[in-house]
Structure 1
Amino acid sequence: MITTVRDYLAAHRRAKDAFPGALLLVVSVFASMAGPSGWHGPRAAPVLWTAAACAPLVWRSRAPVLVTVAVASVEVVHLASAPGQPLVPGASLIALYTLASRLPRRRAWVIGLVVTVALTVALAASRSDEVFAAGTLASFDLLVLSVALGDLTRSRRAHLAALSKRAEQAERTRDDEAARRVTAERVRIARDLHDVVAHHITLVNAQAGVAQHLVRTDAEAAYQALGQLKDNSRAALDELRATVGLLRQDDDVSEPRTPAPTLADLDDLAASFVHTGLPVQVTITGALRPAYPSIELAAYRITQEALTNTAKHAGPGATARVHLDYGDTALRVEITDTGNGVRAADMAATDGHGLIGMRERAAAFGGTLTAGPGRGGGFRVVAELPLPQDPGDAR
């Protein structure tokens, strides 16, 4: 029953505004029936004055100032027309509470105190009492208390609204951060896909060309070239499956994934280019020590992309060299070739993503990458990636 009434009042503003006045009117009816000699029929005058004072309360939330003035005026007129009659300013208490809960604090207290003083003076005059009499001060305290309760309600409502706003802002911030991370992950996966596809397709294309050239002159060599083409195709599929597998949902069926390549796999990477006619030499200097797996993967992908670009742009008869230099604080990866010295701008115009992807990989770990024509011709890519200060932190 209580829940039904609460829901109804929440859905009907006018009924909610009128509800306290209706209760006050019912109380006045029962109060007018009580007397020294027992219960009797309700007296019309007190009930009608109470009804007149409560009537404006129907609009108390829409026009709290006008309602407060109207209610107070009715009660002052009542006190003036019936001197000596006891009056509890119930309608004024409701009006003042609504006023303080709806208006800004300063304005509400100014209006509330003016109305409170006017009602207190009218009550004292009606009773022929002094303003500072106990009964008069009790009424004054009740009126001030109603203003204070209304102000407290307004403050609490504002505090809850601020908390709700901060919660919504925090939720939006979390959503923005989640979207940013999703975007970054998509870029990273796209970069991996580009590296894998560009590398292996370049090898497959070169090996297919070799096989096509040899098929009429050296069947055995052509057969071996086709076998290498098959191996590279399978490797491309395995890496694509491993990379795309990152996009699987938690409830997807898991499949075996190829381990992420490391710097220990550079010899295999170099060997895969030898079959395409690009000899690659790998050298290592400095105190060899492990790096973070993510940094090793970045160094491997940078090397893979640089060699892929060499295979595409260096021209026939070119060779390449990969040099790893382990310094005190950084790993330096240098890839050079003896090709025709194609400019970085030409590579960017042809591919558009290779150099950008390499720079992004280096920058992701606080490293740097430079690319451009080599000193003695060809092309040169140099990446510097930070190494852990404590070797035990790398694994």
Structure 2
Amino acid sequence: MSTVWRRRIKSRSRGSGVLPAALFVVTAMSCLTTGWFVPDQLLVWPGVLLGLAAAVALVWRRRRPLAVLAVTALCTMGMGALGFLLTPFIMGPLLAAQYCVALSRGRSTTWYSASAAAAGMGVAGLGLTPSLRGSMFIVFINPVGWVLLTAAFGSYVRVRREYAAARVEHQEREREELARHRVVQERMRIARELHDVVAHHLALANAQAGTAARLARSDPAQAVEILEHLSGTTAEAMREMKRTVGLLRQESDTSQDLLPAPGLEQLPDLLDTCVEAGLKVSVEVHGEPRVLHPGLNLTAYRIVQEALTNVTKHAATGTARVRLAYTLSDLTITVANDGSPRDAICQRRNERGFGLVGMGERVFAAGGSFHAGPRPQGGFEVFCSLPLNDERSAP
């Protein structure tokens, strides 16, 4: 148990005896004061004893609120029968018990008990106070009104507390949902990085191995050269995997050994690896190239990388075109390959993995638009537009 809760329990246990004592003092002083001014008509000490009984009953107000309310109501009615005017000072224990009932019970129980207590006070005021029977407000409306007002105030406090507790619970659920959402987003980001890194190099290695197998008899020298490049491709895949896993395993975000994230500056190296796999790629750049911040630069590079990887794996062609168009507001990337419409449909069916999904997620996270599908004249095309001034593109 925490120290804060221990302090609250101790303070509540001490406060459970302070309130009855204070209310008994107020009730006793009211009885003595009334007896001082009307010495011949009131039995003061029986009234003090009834006030003591009502105050003592308040010790159990949290465990037995309804029973305590009944005891305090009977004691208060007895004081009215002795001729005491039912003022808030005389009714103090009853009002405290009614407040506890309103706090701990529901609305129907609160108002049923309040109605019973108010009826008792009305009977005590009208039938048991003969000296003041002529004043309706003093003997009837005043005690009944105090009981109902206390019940209303206790209900208001209970509703406010329930609202505050519900709001805290709602905020806690929102924080948990946000934490889960962040975990899911991070898992998706990691999955995209692993897919882009591993799938690209494995696709190139598979293409190189297939080309070498076809050339093993007709052109052994070229097959050996391709196999030499194959070892470099697999080694690069291992290095990329090691770097990605190392980034995930580090405990802090600061590391001097990490290489910068790839960007469009590494596009020539990417094209060289595609050529080694047997895919010839032409690049067109329109507009004046601009310096991209790391987040958008990585997104653009991964889009081109994954699109060329898909061409290497699925397209029945050995050529592809990359078009980069810079404007003042956005960067558009188009990766297309030639082929018959039937080949494009087959390529679309083969690309049911996570490549296109990952590209779309990257583009949408950057605030851009994405489209991938067969071209009318044949082949397949990947198109995306990345905003250059969108805050979501920031790393």
In the superposition, the TM-score normalised over structure 1's length comes to 0.71
Gaps of 5+ in 1: 37-42
- Which residue identity is paired with 1:297? L
Q: Which residue does the alignment assign to 1:381? A: 382
- Which residue identity is paired with 1:95? L
Task: Tell me the secondary structure at the aligned position of residue 370 of structure 2.
Answer: strand
Q: Which residue does the alignment assign to 2:98? A: 99
Which structure 2 residues correspond to residues 189-208 of structure 1 after superposition, within 5 A?
189-208=190-209
- Assess, with a 3 A threshold, how the Cα gap between structure 1 residues 120 and 324 changes in structure 2: closer, same or farther: same
Deviates more, 1:181-190 or 1:381-390: 381-390
Task: Tell me the secondary structure at the aligned position of residue 358 of structure 1.
Answer: helix
Deviates more, 1:161-170 or 1:262-271: 161-170
Q: Which residue does the alignment assign to 1:289? A: 290
- Assess, with a 3 A threshold, how the Cα gap between structure 1 residues 175 and 333 changes in structure 2: closer, same or farther: same
Task: Tell me the secondary structure at the aligned position of residue 288 of structure 1.
Answer: coil
Q: State the Cα distance separating 1:192 from its structure 2 match.
A: 1.8
Task: Tell me the secondary structure at the aligned position of residue 286 of structure 2.
Answer: strand
Q: Which residue does the alignment assign to 2:264? A: 263
Report % sequence identity.
35
Q: Which residue does the alignment assign to 2:187? A: 186
- Assess, with a 3 A threshold, how the Cα gap between structure 1 residues 183 and 173 changes in structure 2: closer, same or farther: same
Which structure 2 residues correspond to residues 106-185 of structure 1 after superposition, within 5 A?
113-121=118-126, 124-125=129-130, 128-129=131-132, 148=149, 151-185=152-186
CA deviations on 1:166-195 (whole Å, 9 max, x unpaired) are: 122112112211211221221122112111
Q: State the Cα distance separating 1:275 from its structure 2 match.
A: 0.9
CA-based RMSD: 4.8
Q: Which residue does the alignment assign to 1:337? A: 337
Residues 56 and 70 in structure 1, CA contact (< 8 A), matched pair in contact too: yes
Deviates more, 1:235-244 or 1:340-349: 340-349
Gaps of 5+ in 2: 37-43
Q: State the Cα distance separating 1:284 from its structure 2 match.
A: 0.8
Q: How many residues align?
A: 370
Which structure 2 residues correspond to residues 221-236 of structure 1 after superposition, within 5 A?
221=222, 224-236=225-237
CA deviations on 1:219-269 (whole Å, 9 max, x unpaired) are: 765554344223322322332234334433535994722321211221111
CA deviations on 1:5-33 (whole Å, 9 max, x unpaired) are: 9858979xxxx69x9399949x97xx99x
Task: Tell me the secondary structure at the aligned position of residue 343 of structure 1.
Answer: helix
- 1:107 and 1:325 mapped to 2: Cα distance? 77
Deviates more, 1:248-257 or 1:292-301: 248-257
Residues 121 and 144 in structure 2, CA contact (< 8 A), matched pair in contact too: yes
- Which residue identity is paired with 1:262? G
Q: State the Cα distance separating 1:197 from its structure 2 match.
A: 0.9
Residues 306 and 335 in structure 1, CA contact (< 8 A), matched pair in contact too: yes
- 2:388 and 2:45 mapped to 1: Cα distance? 94
Q: Which residue does the alignment assign to 1:39? A: none
- Which residue identity is paired with 2:202? I
Q: Which residue does the alignment assign to 2:360? A: 359
